Amino acid sequence: MKRLITTGLLVSMTLTGAALADGHLPLKELPDVGDRDYWVPDEVNAEGKLEALQEVVGSAAQTFSGTQDAPIQIALIYPSADTSDFWARNYLALTKRLDELGIEYETTEFASRQIEHSLQSTYANQVEQDADLYDYVIFGPSELAIQADNIDKLSANEGFSTYVWAFHTPLKDLANQPDAWFDFSSAAGALTMCDYMIGRLGEGVTMAMNRGIPGITDNQRSGDFKSCVEEKAGWTTVYEHYGEYQREGGFEGTSLIMQAYPEATTIHNANTAMAMGSVEAQVAMGKEKDIFSTGWGGTGLELEAIRRGELDATPMRMGDDVGAATAEAIKADLEGRADELPFVFLGRITVAHDEMSVEEIDALEQEAFRFSGVGALER
Three-class SS state of 213: coil
User: Tell me, what amino acid is at 23?
Assistant: G
Is the residue at 265 inside a domain?
Answer: yes
Parallel, antiparallel, or unpaired for β 292-294 and 266-269? parallel
Q: Are residues 157 and 217 in the same domain?
A: no
Nearest-angstrom CA–CA distance, 193 and 320: 20
* Percent of the chain whose predicted confidence (pLDDT) is above 70: 92
Is the residue at 367 inside a domain?
Answer: no
Q: What is the CATH number of the domain that holds 28?
A: 3.40.50.2300
Is the residue at 131 inside a domain?
Answer: yes
Q: Are residues 232 and 193 in the same domain?
A: yes
pLDDT of residue 22: 44
CB 217, CB 202: distance < 8 Å: no
Three-class SS state of 144: coil
* 300-331 pLDDT, tens digit each: 899 999 999 999 999 998 889 999 999 999 99
Beta-bridge partner residues of 107: 74
SS (H, E, C) 339-360: HHCCCEEECCEEEEECCCCHHH
Q: Are residues 179 and 87 in the same domain?
A: yes
Is the residue at 311 inside a domain?
Answer: no
Is the residue at 267 inside a domain?
Answer: yes
Q: Are residues 169 and 74 in the same domain?
A: yes
Nearest-angstrom CA–CA distance, 78 and 25: 27
Which of left, alpha, beta for 188 (phi over 0: left; psi -120 to 50: alpha)? alpha
**Whole-prediction pTM:** 0.75
Dihedral of CA 215/220/221/224: which sign? positive
What average pLDDT does range 183-202 have in this prediction? 95
pLDDT of residue 83: 63
* 329-353 pLDDT, tens digit each: 999 999 999 999 999 999 989 999 9
CB 195, CB 224: distance < 8 Å: no
What are the DSSP calls for 244-292, one per residue? TT-HHHHHHHHHHHHHH-TT--EEEESSHHHHHHHHHHHHHTT-TTTSE
Residue 59 has pLDDT above 50, yes or no: yes
Nearest-angstrom CA–CA distance, 213 and 218: 6
* Percent of the chain whose predicted confidence (pLDDT) is above 90: 83
Nearest-angstrom CA–CA distance, 217 and 237: 19
Number of domains in the chain: 2
What is the signed CA dihedral for 323, 327, 332, 338, rounded to 10 degrees?
A: 40
* 105-141 pLDDT, tens digit each: 999 999 998 889 999 999 999 999 999 999 999 999 9
What average pLDDT does range 211-238 have in this prediction? 96
pLDDT of residue 3: 43
Q: Are residues 79 and 130 in the same domain?
A: yes
Parallel, antiparallel, or unpaired for β 344-346 and 180-183? parallel
Nearest-angstrom CA–CA distance, 93 and 102: 14
Domain span including residue 35: 4-184+319-348
Residue 8 has pLDDT above 60, yes or no: no
Residue 244 has pLDDT above 90, yes or no: yes
Q: Are residues 129 and 258 in the same domain?
A: no
- Which of 296, 329, 359 is the last residue in one of the domains? 296
Is the residue at 365 inside a domain?
Answer: no
Which of left, alpha, beta for 100 (phi over 0: left; psi -120 to 50: alpha)? alpha
pLDDT of residue 377: 73
Nearest-angstrom CA–CA distance, 173 and 171: 6
* 348-371 pLDDT, tens digit each: 899 999 999 989 999 999 988 899
pLDDT of residue 379: 55
pLDDT of residue 334: 98
Is the residue at 15 inside a domain?
Answer: yes
Q: Are residues 104 and 249 in the same domain?
A: no
Q: Are residues 165 and 280 in the same domain?
A: no
Is the residue at 359 inside a domain?
Answer: no
Supply angle C-alpha 294, 296, 297, rounded to 5: 135
| Average predicted confidence (pLDDT) for the chain | 92
* 255-305 pLDDT, tens digit each: 999 999 999 999 999 999 999 999 999 999 999 999 999 999 998 899 999
pLDDT band at 58 (very low <50, low <70, confident <90, very high): confident
Helix 272-284, helix 300-307: angle, nearest 10: 30
CB 325, CB 347: distance < 8 Å: yes
Lowest mean pLDDT among 85-89, 166-170, 249-253: 85-89
CB 275, CB 305: distance < 8 Å: yes
Closest CA to 100 of 67, 59, 71: 59
CB 361, CB 303: distance < 8 Å: yes
Residue 13 has pLDDT above 60, yes or no: no
